[in-house]
Each structure stands twice: as structure tokens, then as C-alpha cells.
Chain A
């Protein structure tokens, strides 16, 4: 009888402790679940934010690519301008130092002595052309005559590149 009492109260004790353990387990589980839910929501928010940031970063990368293309185009344009200006300078040098068919270099001084009036007219025309080139370089608008010039006799021979857009040099 005495042993049965031990067993009975032992079982009651086990059940009590088991119930407490179960209660503690559920409470802990709920707390962990709440934590997991909060962290999951945070992770989801982080994911959204990161996705938005990725889109922003992609826009920045796209813009940088456009910028690089723009820079390359600007450099190419400048190189073309430089090449054209070097060509014009070479043409000017050619006017003074052209080698004729007999292998002699043109001497503008000698020509001026022989054909004074003609060379004076040429020099004044070249000077006027050169001054007009500076005006155009500073932003002066082209005249209709300059814009429509296509023949060598019509162009400003000092700077056809900027003075006569329709003229094609061969």
C-alpha cells in the first residue's frame, strides 16, 4: 500500500513536470516563432531594399556606359577637328613652299618682284580670307554665299572646313 502511494504520487509528479515542460516548450516555441517571423519580415524588407539598390546601381552603370560613349565621341570629334586644322596648316605651308615641276621651291618674294600687282592682289585676298576665318571661328554666322559655295573658286581657301560646309575637297 505504501509503495503504491509512492508510485501514484510519482506518476502525478511526472505528469505535473511533463505539463510544465510542455508549457515551457510551447512558450519558448512561440517566442522563437515570433523572433523568426520578425527576422523573416526584416529579411524580406532587406531583400526589397537590396533589389531597389540593385536597380539604382544598374542605372548608374548604364549612365556610366553612356558617359564613356559620350566621352569617346567627344574625343573622336576633337581628333577630327585637330586633323582638319593640321591639314589646313599644311595647305598654308604648301602655298609658301610648293615644289614646282622643275624641283624648285616656290619663292613668294621672287614672285612678288616679278608680278607685284598680281601678288599684292593675292596677298590682300588671302589676308581678308584669313580674317574672315577668325570671325567664323569666334562664332560669326556663315553668309549664304559661304554656305552654298561648292567650287574651288567660290570658297575661302584659308579655312574651307569651317567656312564652306558644302565644299568637298578632293
Chain B
């Protein structure tokens, strides 16, 4: 009789326990399993690679030799060649006409302009790439 009573008590206990288990988990799940945002660690990589400055020296300016122009006309040609002979210079003239002289002068001016422009560009490049304001 005593055993029967104990079994009944245990049965009652188990029945009370078993029906509460799902209820508890159900409530628990509603209260604690709220989705939390997954914050991932971000990584950044910064890499600076600087070129070594070239630092080439500009070529030294050339000292130009003087050119002596001689103008020859029908009137002074004999005198010019006589002067050449008397100065011990070969009696020959490498000549250009007045139009040829103009062309030569303009070509020379354009070469000079080109040198000036190139120098200006090199200076600007040096100022830009070798100034202290770079990061």
C-alpha cells in the first residue's frame, strides 16, 4: 500500500513537471532569443610607396661662340674678298639670301622657345613632385 502511494506521488510529480517543461522553454525562447546584430571587425590596410627622387642635375649652359656675319653686295664684293685675303682667311663665303637669313633667324628663335618651354616644364615637374607639400 505504501509503495502504491509513493508511485502515485512520483507519477503526479512527473505529470506536473512534464507539461511545464515545454511551457517554460516556450516562454524562455520568446524572452531571450532576440536576434542581436552581428558586428564584424573591419580591417583597413594603408600602404605608402614613395619613389626615390631622381634629382638629376641640369646640364651646364653652353657658352656660344660668336658668329661674324658679312654682307656682300655687288658694290663691296671685291673689297670683302680682298679683306679676307689680307686677313689670311680663305676667300670663300657661305651665304644666304635675305629671305634665307630671315628663315634662319626664325628657326633659331623657335629652337630657343622650345628650350625655354622644356625648361619651364621640367621646373614645374620638379616643383610639383619634389615639393614638401606631398603627403
CB within 8 Å of B: which residues of A? 2, 5-6, 9-10, 12-14, 16-18, 20-21, 24-25, 28-29, 32, 35-36, 39, 42-43, 45-46, 49-50, 53, 56, 59-60, 63, 66-67, 70-71, 74, 77-78, 81-82, 85, 88-89, 92-93, 96, 107-109, 112-113, 116, 119-120, 123-124, 126-128, 130-140, 158-159, 162
Contact = CB atoms under 8 A, between A and B. Distances in A.
Contacts of A53: 44
Contact of B69 (A20, A28, A120): A120
Contacts of B106: 89, 92-93
A107 B98 contact: yes
B59 interface: yes
Contacts of A39: 36-39
Given A46-B39, A124-B68, A108 B102 contact: yes
A29 B25 CA distance: 14
Contacts, number: 174
B112 A32 contact: no
Contact of A9 (B16, B101, B116): B16
B117 interface: yes
